[in-house]
Amino acid sequence: MDGPFVMRWKPALGLLVLPALACGADSPWSATIAATTDYIYRGVSQTYETGAVQLGANYQNPTGWFAGFWGSNVNPYPHVGASTELDLYAGLTQPLGADFSARFAYTHYAYLDDPRPAHYDYDEVSFTAAYLDRLEATLSYQPDSSLYSTLGFARHHPMGALELTGRWPLCDGLAVSAGAGYYDLQSLFGASYWAGNIGLAYVYKRATLEVDRFFAQGTVERLFADQSANGTWTATVSLRF
C-alpha cells in the first residue's frame, strides 16, 4: 500500500501507526515515529491511559515481499510495571487486478524486560484483502496467545480476529478513518467481544495528526477492568521518513 493511507498492523482499532509498505515510489525503505496519548490495541489500553512513543521501520521489495519492526512502550494488564513491546514482521503483498490486493503476514510479538512472571510473547499469521488504499478486511490467528484477565491466566491458547478498517479522503489533507473488529477469546476465557473506532486525520507532507474515539463491548471491561478503551479519546502525531 502506498501513499497517505497508513498501514496499521495493529489495525485502526489499535491506533498504532506503522510504516506504510512504501513511503514513496523512490525508495523501498520507510520509517515512522509517533507519539500517542494512549496505546490502544483491540479495544484494550496497553498503557493504562497514559502516553506512548512508538517507532518502526519497513522494507518493501518491488516483487511484493516486505519485512520490518515496530516498537512501543507498554504497561499491559495486570498493572505490574512498564516494558517494551517489539513486533517483528514479514510478508508478501500481491495485486489482484487494478484495484484489489492480497497480503499475507507473519508477526512475532515480544515483550522486552517484562516484569510479569509469565512469558507473554506470541506469534500471529494474518491474511488481508484490500480495495485500493481505502478498505481492508483482515483475518488473523494466534496459535499460542497468553493473556491475563480478571478470570485468571491463560497460557498458550489459540485466538482469532476479524477486522475491517477504512480510510476515506475528504479535502485538503483531511480523511475520516474507522475500524471494527470481532475477537474470539473462547479458548482463553470462554468469551468474545467486539471493538471499534472512528477518527479524523490531517496529513501535511510527512506529518499526520489523528484524533480517534474508541468503543468496546462491556465484555472488555469484564475481562480487563479499567483497561477497557470504551469511550476513550486519543490524539496521535506521527512523522514518516
Query: Which CATH number is 134's domain given?
Result: 2.40.160.40
pLDDT band with cut points at 50, 70 and 90 for residue 10: low
The DSSP code for 79 is T
pLDDT reported for residue 94: 96
pLDDT reported for residue 167: 95
Q: Which residue matches cell numbers 507473519? A: 106
pLDDT band with cut points at 50, 70 and 90 for residue 183: very high
pLDDT reported for residue 79: 75
Q: Determine contact, residues 212/231, Cβ cutoff 8 Å.
A: no
Q: Determine contact, residues 32/47, Cβ cutoff 8 Å.
A: no
Q: Is residue 5 part of a domain?
A: no
Q: Does residue 173 surpass a pLDDT of 90? A: yes
Give me the mean pLDDT over the 97-118 stretch: 93
pLDDT band with cut points at 50, 70 and 90 for residue 4: very low
pLDDT reported for residue 198: 97
Strands (E), the chain: 29-36, 40-41, 44-45, 52-60, 65-74, 83-96, 100-112, 122-131, 135-149, 152-169, 174-185, 191-204, 207-216, 233-240
CA distance 80 to 101: 42
Q: Is residue 165 part of a domain?
A: yes
Q: Is residue 39 part of a domain?
A: yes
pLDDT band with cut points at 50, 70 and 90 for residue 114: confident
Q: Is residue 6 part of a domain?
A: no
Give me the mean pLDDT over the 39-54 stretch: 94
Q: Is residue 199 part of a domain?
A: yes
Region at 187 (left for phi over 0; alpha for psi -120 to 50; beta for the rest): alpha
Q: Is residue 44 part of a domain?
A: yes
Tell me how far CA of residue 228 lies from CA of 25, 43, 76, 195, 223, in angstroms.
39, 6, 12, 10, 9
Q: Is residue 1 part of a domain?
A: no
Bond into 158 cis (ω within 30):
no
Give me the mean pLDDT over the 228-234 stretch: 97
**Between 16 and 93, the higher pLDDT residue:** 93
Give me the mean pLDDT over the 63-70 stretch: 96
Q: Does residue 14 surpass a pLDDT of 60? A: no
Looking at every residue in the chain, the average pLDDT score rounds to 89
Four-point Cα dihedral 226, 189, 178, 199, nearest 10: 10
Domain that holds residue 56: 29-240
Q: Give the closest residue to 209 by CA, choosing from 84, 68, 34.
A: 34
Instruction: Indicate the pairing of strand 135-149 with strand 152-169.
Output: antiparallel
Q: Does residue 129 surpass a pLDDT of 60? A: yes
Q: Is residue 9 part of a domain?
A: no
pLDDT band with cut points at 50, 70 and 90 for residue 3: very low
Give me the mean pLDDT over the 5-22 stretch: 39
Which H or E run includes 189?
helix 186-189
Instruction: Determine what percent of the chain is predicted with pLDDT higher than 70.
Output: 89
The total number of structural domains in the chain stands at: 1
On the CB side of 130, how many CA atoms lie within 13 Å of its CA? 23
